[in-house]
Amino acid sequence: MSQQLIEKLKAFKVIPVIQINNIEQAVPLAKTLVENGLPVAEVTFRTEAAAEAIRLMREAYPEMCIGAGTVLNAEQVDRAVEAGAEFVVAPGLNPNTVRYCQEINIPMVPGVNNPSQVEQALELGLTFLKFFPAEASGGINMVKSLLAPYVDVSFMPTGGIGEANIRDYLAVDRILCCGGTWMVSPKMIEAGQWDEIGKLVREAVALVQD
């Protein structure tokens, strides 16, 4: 993971984790994020529309920082990169996928939630990791417990993080940013509630930058 990209994600503090079911929603959503001060997205490969959504967002807003999430194998990595993703995120740590990303030089953030996985990541040369699923895996106490012995590691917790607890996470040293869905819920995206999403995005930006 390049230091430049890590610094970029760290500056955003909150990374909207987006599920797009319908490619028509991609550009209006990108517009809403950009215009409301959060030009970054992790578009999850949970739906068929993901790669095309990344491509359309990248074309419409080249300045956006766009990653692909829920990337499980090399084939999805290729599709994400081809579509214009700058980085890929996985829910778990698959050494094959990590090595493939390293071969083609695309930054990869694998998910971990225990010491053995952190050590596997370190063995693969990775120090910026996703802590997932954050709340279900013990939340802030677990993150602190993992950070203590692994002094080179920093985290992007995702899963169960929202307005009520994001500031507590960000207050922990070496939690650089958090993934969140509360301001971009699939329901609101599906309904095209761009004004409502815009309002929640502005509130999220204010909350984490405060």
Q: What share of the chain is helix, strand, coil (3-state, %, to 5)?
A: 50, 15, 35
Q: In the predicted model, is pLDDT for residue 210 greater than 80?
A: no
CA–CA distance, 17 with 194 (Å, rounded to integer)? 16
Each residue's pLDDT tens digit, 91-110: 999 999 999 999 999 999 99
Q: Can 42 be counted among the known catalytic residues?
A: yes
CA–CA distance, 109 with 44 (Å, rounded to integer)? 13
Q: Going by C-beta distance under 8 Å and a sequence separation of 6 or more, which residues neighbour residue 63?
A: 34, 39
Q: In the predicted model, is pLDDT for residue 62 greater than 80?
A: yes
The percentage of the chain sitting over the pLDDT mark of 70, rounded to a whole number, equals: 100
Greatest C-alpha distance within the chain: 46
**CA dist 168 → 11, 21, 39, 109, 111 (Å):** 17, 32, 23, 22, 20
What pLDDT, on the 0 to 100 scale, is given for residue 115?
98
Residue 210 or residue 111, greater confidence: 111
Overall domain count for the chain? 1
Q: Can 123 be counted among the known catalytic residues?
A: no
Each residue's pLDDT tens digit, 10-42: 999 999 999 999 999 999 999 999 999 999 999
pLDDT band for position 82 (cuts 50, 70, 90): very high
What pLDDT, on the 0 to 100 scale, is given for residue 148?
98
- Residue 69's CATH number: 3.20.20.70
Q: Which position among 7, 123, 130, 135 bears the catalytic label?
A: 130
Residue 179 pairs in a beta bridge with 15, 158
Q: In the predicted model, is pLDDT for residue 1 greater than 90?
A: no
103: containing domain: 3-209
Closest alpha carbon to 157 in 91, 209, 68: 91
CA–CA distance, 124 with 209 (Å, rounded to integer)? 33
Q: In the predicted model, is pLDDT for residue 140 greater than 90?
A: yes
Q: Are 110 and 73 in contact (CB under 8 A)?
A: no
pLDDT band for position 189 (cuts 50, 70, 90): very high
Q: In the predicted model, is pLDDT for residue 193 greater than 90?
A: yes
What pLDDT, on the 0 to 100 scale, is given for residue 201?
98
Q: Which position among 42, 48, 82, 144 bears the catalytic label?
A: 42
Residue 87 pairs in a beta bridge with 67
Q: In the predicted model, is pLDDT for residue 187 greater than 80?
A: yes
DSSP notation for 77-116: HHHHHHHT-SEEE-SS--HHHHHHHHHHT--EE-EE-SHH
Mean of all residue pLDDT scores within the chain: 97
